[in-house]
Amino acid sequence: MDIISQTQILVNSRILRTENEVQQFENAIANILNLNDVDHIKNLCLGFDDATEHDEVMFSLIHAIESYDKTFGPEVPLQKLADSINGMLPHARGWVETLHKRILNHDLSRRVYAEVISNCDTGIKDTVLQLINGIKAKNPKKFEASVSEFFSNIK
Protein backbone atom coordinates (compact mmCIF):
# COMPACT_ATOMS: atom_id res chain seq x y z
CA MET A 1 0.00 0.00 0.00
CA ASP A 2 1.36 3.38 -0.96
CA ILE A 3 0.12 6.91 -0.38
CA ILE A 4 -0.27 7.70 -4.08
CA SER A 5 -2.63 4.78 -4.78
CA GLN A 6 -4.62 5.39 -1.59
CA THR A 7 -4.97 9.08 -2.41
CA GLN A 8 -6.18 8.22 -5.89
CA ILE A 9 -8.79 5.86 -4.45
CA LEU A 10 -9.92 8.61 -2.07
CA VAL A 11 -10.24 11.15 -4.88
CA ASN A 12 -11.96 8.72 -7.27
CA SER A 13 -14.58 7.73 -4.69
CA ARG A 14 -15.18 11.09 -2.97
CA ILE A 15 -18.60 11.74 -4.51
CA LEU A 16 -19.81 8.62 -2.65
CA ARG A 17 -22.51 7.71 -5.18
CA THR A 18 -22.52 3.97 -4.45
CA GLU A 19 -21.97 1.70 -1.50
CA ASN A 20 -18.77 0.53 -3.22
CA GLU A 21 -17.45 4.13 -3.38
CA VAL A 22 -18.31 4.61 0.30
CA GLN A 23 -16.40 1.44 1.20
CA GLN A 24 -13.39 2.41 -0.95
CA PHE A 25 -13.40 5.90 0.55
CA GLU A 26 -13.51 4.64 4.13
CA ASN A 27 -10.83 2.02 3.47
CA ALA A 28 -8.55 4.62 1.86
CA ILE A 29 -8.93 6.90 4.90
CA ALA A 30 -8.03 4.03 7.24
CA ASN A 31 -5.06 3.01 5.10
CA ILE A 32 -3.73 6.57 4.98
CA LEU A 33 -4.13 6.96 8.74
CA ASN A 34 -2.28 3.69 9.30
CA LEU A 35 0.76 5.23 7.62
CA ASN A 36 0.86 7.65 10.60
CA ASP A 37 2.46 10.51 8.68
CA VAL A 38 1.19 14.02 9.39
CA ASP A 39 2.27 15.06 5.90
CA HIS A 40 -0.60 12.93 4.61
CA ILE A 41 -3.14 15.50 5.79
CA LYS A 42 -2.74 17.07 2.35
CA ASN A 43 -3.70 13.73 0.79
CA LEU A 44 -6.74 13.39 3.03
CA CYS A 45 -7.83 16.93 2.15
CA LEU A 46 -8.05 15.86 -1.49
CA GLY A 47 -10.97 13.64 -0.48
CA PHE A 48 -13.30 16.56 0.21
CA ASP A 49 -15.89 17.51 -2.37
CA ASP A 50 -19.06 19.55 -1.93
CA ALA A 51 -20.85 17.34 -4.48
CA THR A 52 -20.71 14.29 -2.21
CA GLU A 53 -23.93 12.38 -1.70
CA HIS A 54 -23.14 11.32 1.89
CA ASP A 55 -22.14 14.15 4.18
CA GLU A 56 -22.01 11.83 7.19
CA VAL A 57 -19.30 9.74 5.52
CA MET A 58 -17.35 12.90 4.71
CA PHE A 59 -17.28 13.68 8.43
CA SER A 60 -15.10 10.59 8.89
CA LEU A 61 -12.53 12.47 6.84
CA ILE A 62 -12.77 15.45 9.21
CA HIS A 63 -12.33 13.15 12.21
CA ALA A 64 -9.35 11.50 10.52
CA ILE A 65 -7.63 14.85 10.03
CA GLU A 66 -8.42 15.90 13.58
CA SER A 67 -6.98 12.62 14.91
CA TYR A 68 -3.44 13.74 14.05
CA ASP A 69 -3.62 16.16 17.01
CA LYS A 70 -3.36 13.21 19.41
CA THR A 71 0.00 12.13 18.03
CA PHE A 72 1.53 15.36 16.76
CA GLY A 73 -0.13 18.07 18.88
CA PRO A 74 -2.22 20.79 17.26
CA GLU A 75 0.38 23.01 15.57
CA VAL A 76 1.78 20.71 12.88
CA PRO A 77 -1.59 19.28 11.76
CA LEU A 78 -3.09 22.77 11.59
CA GLN A 79 -0.12 23.93 9.51
CA LYS A 80 -0.60 20.99 7.14
CA LEU A 81 -4.30 21.84 6.89
CA ALA A 82 -3.54 25.48 6.10
CA ASP A 83 -1.06 24.39 3.43
CA SER A 84 -3.77 22.20 1.86
CA ILE A 85 -6.57 24.76 1.59
CA ASN A 86 -5.84 26.01 -1.91
CA GLY A 87 -6.01 22.44 -3.22
CA MET A 88 -9.53 22.17 -1.80
CA LEU A 89 -10.92 25.26 -3.48
CA PRO A 90 -13.32 25.76 -5.13
CA HIS A 91 -14.70 22.17 -5.26
CA ALA A 92 -14.78 21.69 -1.47
CA ARG A 93 -15.41 25.20 -0.16
CA GLY A 94 -18.24 24.02 2.09
CA TRP A 95 -15.98 21.46 3.74
CA VAL A 96 -13.21 24.03 4.15
CA GLU A 97 -15.74 26.23 5.95
CA THR A 98 -16.85 23.30 8.12
CA LEU A 99 -13.24 22.61 9.12
CA HIS A 100 -12.76 26.28 9.99
CA LYS A 101 -15.96 26.40 12.03
CA ARG A 102 -14.66 23.47 14.06
CA ILE A 103 -11.38 25.30 14.60
CA LEU A 104 -13.19 28.48 15.65
CA ASN A 105 -15.29 26.49 18.14
CA HIS A 106 -12.25 24.92 19.84
CA ASP A 107 -10.27 27.28 22.10
CA LEU A 108 -6.83 25.68 21.78
CA SER A 109 -7.15 25.06 18.04
CA ARG A 110 -8.33 28.63 17.46
CA ARG A 111 -5.31 30.10 19.28
CA VAL A 112 -2.80 27.78 17.65
CA TYR A 113 -4.33 28.26 14.20
CA ALA A 114 -4.08 32.05 14.53
CA GLU A 115 -0.37 31.61 15.19
CA VAL A 116 -0.02 29.20 12.25
CA ILE A 117 -1.86 31.55 9.89
CA SER A 118 0.25 34.49 11.07
CA ASN A 119 3.30 32.69 9.72
CA CYS A 120 1.77 31.53 6.41
CA ASP A 121 2.46 33.11 3.06
CA THR A 122 0.18 35.94 2.00
CA GLY A 123 -1.94 33.81 -0.34
CA ILE A 124 -2.90 31.27 2.32
CA LYS A 125 -3.31 33.97 4.95
CA ASP A 126 -5.65 36.02 2.74
CA THR A 127 -7.71 32.95 1.83
CA VAL A 128 -8.15 31.96 5.47
CA LEU A 129 -9.01 35.48 6.59
CA GLN A 130 -11.66 35.69 3.85
CA LEU A 131 -13.07 32.31 4.87
CA ILE A 132 -13.20 33.31 8.54
CA ASN A 133 -14.89 36.62 7.68
CA GLY A 134 -17.43 34.73 5.56
CA ILE A 135 -18.22 32.38 8.44
CA LYS A 136 -18.79 35.34 10.74
CA ALA A 137 -20.97 37.13 8.16
CA LYS A 138 -23.21 34.06 7.77
CA ASN A 139 -23.68 33.57 11.51
CA PRO A 140 -22.44 36.61 13.47
CA LYS A 141 -24.24 35.67 16.66
CA LYS A 142 -22.45 32.33 16.91
CA PHE A 143 -19.02 33.30 15.57
CA GLU A 144 -18.45 36.98 16.38
CA ALA A 145 -16.53 36.39 19.63
CA SER A 146 -14.36 33.53 18.32
CA VAL A 147 -13.59 35.36 15.08
CA SER A 148 -12.67 38.51 16.99
CA GLU A 149 -10.32 36.50 19.19
CA PHE A 150 -8.84 34.77 16.15
CA PHE A 151 -8.16 38.10 14.41
CA SER A 152 -6.71 39.62 17.55
CA ASN A 153 -4.09 36.86 17.57
CA ILE A 154 -3.09 37.31 13.92
CA LYS A 155 0.25 39.07 13.53
3-state secondary structure the chain: CCHHHHHHHHHHHCCCCCHHHHHHHHHHHHHHHHCCCHHHHHHHHCCCCCCCCCHHHHHHHHHHHHHHHHHHCCHHHHHHHHHHHHHHCCCCHHHHHHHHHHHHCCHHHHHHHHHHHHCCCHHHHHHHHHHHHHHHHHCHHHHHHHHHHHHHCCC
- pLDDT per residue as tens digits for the range 112-143: 999 999 999 999 999 999 999 999 999 999 99
Please check the confidence at residue 34 and state whether its pLDDT lies above 80: yes
% of the chain residues with pLDDT over 70? 100
Burial of 60 (0-12, 13-18, 19+ CB in 10 A): middle
Ranges of each domain in the chain:
3-152
Q: How confident is the model at residue 155 (pLDDT cuts 50, 70, 90)?
A: confident
- pLDDT per residue as tens digits for the range 48-75: 999 999 999 999 999 999 999 999 999 9
Q: Is pTM beyond 0.85 here? A: yes
